[in-house]
Structures are given as structure tokens and as C-alpha cells.
Amino acid sequence: MAGLTLYDKLWRNHLVEQRDDGSALIYIDRHLIHEVTSPQAFEGLRLAGRRPWRLDANLAVPDHNVPTSAAERAGGVAGIVDEISRLQVQTLDDNCLAFDITEIPINDLRQGIVHVVGPEQGATLPGMTVVCGDSHTSTHGALGALAHGIGTSEVEHVLATQCLVQQKMKNMLVRVDGKLQPGVTAKDVALAIIGQIGTAGGTGYAIEFGGDVVRAMSMEGRMTLCNMSIEAGARMGMIAVDATTLDYVRGRTYSPRGELWEEAVAAWSDLHSDADAQFDKVVTLQGEAIQPQVTWGTSPEMVLPVDGVLPDPAQIENPSRREGARRALEYMGLQPGTAITDIHLDRVFIGSCTNSRIEDLRAAAAVVQGKRVAPTIKQALVVPGSGQVKAMAEAEGLDRIFLDAGMEWREPGCSMCLAMNADKLGAGEHCASTSNRNFEGRQGIGGRTHLVSPAMAAAAAIAGHFVDVRSLQETDA
């Protein structure tokens, strides 16, 4: 018999019941909750007179709606200006209190984007099943966990039963061999993968990322990579546990200690695909060939290396792709044949669950240090992923570097990633963004998003248009 993949093992370990119709009951270890997709689930519990199955499996934190300006944040929940946002955050507080669920409240130092907070607190651990009413839950797979997003009915289902009814996915291995060039980051790898397999390439699969490039990545980089599995069409992405994982997990608030730590590490040593495991599909990339990436359209697969030029729809054979490219260029207000480096920007956003961890902020700060944001840039926002990331960055003096360069240093939250709070793009504005979705209107009605790495976003802020961050670093040397 062939060996098992990491996904097969995680599935097997959590299988409560296999049903005749092909579905299975899967046990959920950790359920993360935020304010947008949970109110109706709590309402459902209330109406049915049900209680949560297991309180200590849940952890809640508000992130999508919270304001990121220090002034508005100072007033806590009551200080949120937008009435409907305030009610949503207040409702999370009320529900957690009523159902006895642990919540990290708005102005707690540990508050932040749910996908940054989970690993940071040790609330998500290797070998777990992790779910949350948010599609970027795939992030937590970086720790060797089975993690994916769920809908609101499923949020209620997990609260009430500690299980989900699931169908098993097929296995896909995405292997990135060799080494990355200096200046090329996990975000560029994620975008290059999506550029290669397309936004539906991973549909129906659980992706495992492997290869020397992934093994050499920090945990922050691995989280960036797994985060964007969903943009590649897969609900989940994961990475085998190794010494890097253990170093990251050790000593966190909710991580095991002492003897339990030793026991856990022993159990986690099995969290990798067996050498003879069979994948239904294998995709390979060569690390050396990956350049810094920039998206030019309204889907993450519309991506090019920074030295690329925009495609001419007339040259695209497939009719639906041709129409897609034509509409995207029209929405983005861009002409075929334009060089990526000639795209001028109005705003820059460094943040989101893809790229708001300490390593991301360090990379951005290294680029802007001692420089000024171009006068044509209306706003350059830096939004740390959590209060702890913010504190760490401030202790290292990164906030000063950003502020001295003319950037804004904000309080943690989702912010301009989806524009549910006050941080938004105006119609027609181009934004270099370290987030994960460039759909029409995602960052504000009519807004034009270009997805890039933190270093590339920082370089674009200084230049006022896209530049190859490597050229900047070379002239410095």
C-alpha cells in the first residue's frame, strides 16, 4: 500500500464517522471566530436552545470592522464611529459573554487579524483541524494543520457539535525547488504559483507545499504561502512540520509546555507526507526562475514579473480569457503593452492576513529606511497584523522608519484589505497592496488593486510607480 500524504494523516486522525454516502464526520480542534460571520450562528444556537459543545475549542477576536486609526480606537467598541460596524463588534462581545467563549477584545494587546492571532498565541498548533468563518483560514496550514474556511451555517454546526460534515479532497503537491533570488519573497512565490495553475487550478484539492524553497522559508513566509491557497482555488494549503515549525510554536501562550511539549513534539514528528505517498497532481516551480510579481488585472492569476508588459487581449486565443483580459484592462484603466514599471500609483497598503507579520514589516522598512514616499502618493498605510506585531515593530524602531518616510502607522485589523472600515480606495485609484484579492471593488468601489510583496509595495511607495525592488537594493549597496 502506498504511503499517506500529510492531508491523509490529518484527515485520518480526525475521522469520527465515515458515512455510506461518501461524506464523513470530522472532529474540529480549534474554531476561530470573528464578528462578521458569527452573529447569525449564535442567533441560530439561541433559537434552537443549544449550547456550544466544547467551550475551550473556541477563540474569538474582532478584526474585519475595527477602525485602525489610533484616535477612533481609543474609545474601544463604543468609540467606533460607523454605527453598524460598532453593533457588529458589540454583538461579538455580547455573544462571547453570553456563551462563555474566550474573546480577545478590541483593545487587548493580543488583538489582531484572526489569522495572525491564532498562530501567534499558539491557539493553532501542528496536527490540529482549524476552522473559521473566513476563507483565508488556509493560513494556519503552514503549521502542519488541516485548516480551511467555512460558511455561517457551518460556524453554528461546529459550535453545536464540534464536528463538520466533509467530503475528502484530492491531494496536490506544489513543489518549489532550488533557491529564491535575493529580494524575492513568499508572496512572489504564491503569486507565481497562481499565475501558473490559475485561480481554479486547486479546485477540489488539498494542496501541500514542499521543496527546498518552502523548507528554507520562515514560518511567516509559509503562512503567506498557505494564505493564498484559496486564491489558487484550494480551500486548504499545508506544509510539513520541521524544526522551523517547532521553533516558532515553542513558548507561545497556548502552546504545550514541559512534559506535554515533549509528548506533542513526538506526535508531530509524523506530520509529513510519507516518502512513497501518492499525489493526484504534482506541480513544480524552479525557485531561481521566480521574479518579483505584480498583478495587473482583477483576478490574482492576472500576474506578471515586474519586468513584464501588459498583454494584448487581441493576441489571446481562448475567447473567454480574451474577454476576461479585455474587461480587466478596461476596469483597471490600463493599455495593452504598458510596462508594469510604468503603472503609477495613488495609494499603498501594507497589511492584511497575507503580509502583516513582523518579517513583512521588516522587509518593507528595510526598503524605505532613510527615504521619502513619492509626493504623488496620496496615502501609504502600514497596518500591523496584531497588537503584538505592532509592539515588536515599535521596539525595533520600525514605526519611526515608516513615519519618517511619510507613511501612516496604524492600529491592527483587516483595514483596507476589504474596506469594511473607513480605509478605502477612491474610484479609479491604483493601489500597491500586500493583500490577497484584486477583485473589482474589493478595496473600495472603482478601486484598482495591484497585489505585491511588502518589499515591492514599499519600493513602489518611494518611486510612485512599480520598480524592481532588487534594483533599489543594488544601488544602495
List contacts with ligand SF4 (CB under 6 A): 63-64, 113, 115, 134, 136, 352-353, 414, 417-418, 435-436
Task: Give min distance, CB of 353 to ligand SF4, in A.
Answer: 3
Residue closer to other proteins by CB (options 33, 463) is: 33
Which does residue 71 touch among other proteins, ligand SF4, none (CB within 5 to 8 A, set by kind)? none
Which does residue 17 touch among other proteins, ligand SF4, none (CB within 5 to 8 A, set by kind)? other proteins
Task: Give min distance, CB of 420 to other proteins, in A.
Answer: 7
Task: Give min distance, CB of 303 to ligand SF4, in A.
Answer: 17
Identify whether the C-beta of residue 328 lies closer than 8 Å to the C-beta of residue 391. no
Task: Give min distance, CB of 415 to ligand SF4, in A.
Answer: 7
Which does residue 417 touch among ligand SF4, other proteins, none (CB within 5 to 8 A, set by kind)? ligand SF4
Indicate the angle between helix axes 219-227 and 114-121, nearest 10 degrees: 140
Which does residue 27 touch among other proteins, ligand SF4, none (CB within 5 to 8 A, set by kind)? other proteins
User: Rule CB under 8 A: which residues touch other proteins?
Assistant: 16-17, 19, 21, 23, 25, 27, 29, 36-37, 39-40, 43-44, 48, 50, 53-59, 65, 84-85, 87-88, 91, 100-102, 123, 125, 127-128, 135, 149, 151-153, 156-157, 160-163, 165, 203, 254-256, 260-261, 263-264, 267, 418, 420, 439, 441
The torsion of the CA quartet 344, 350, 355, 359, rounded to 10 degrees, works out to: 110
Residue closer to other proteins by CB (options 185, 298) is: 298
Task: Give min distance, CB of 467 to other proteins, in A.
Answer: 32
Task: Give min distance, CB of 196 to ligand SF4, in A.
Answer: 22
Residue closer to ligand SF4 by CB (options 419, 467) is: 419
Task: Give min distance, CB of 325 to ligand SF4, in A.
Answer: 25
Which does residue 254 touch among ligand SF4, other proteins, none (CB within 5 to 8 A, set by kind)? other proteins
Residue closer to other proteins by CB (options 153, 286) is: 153
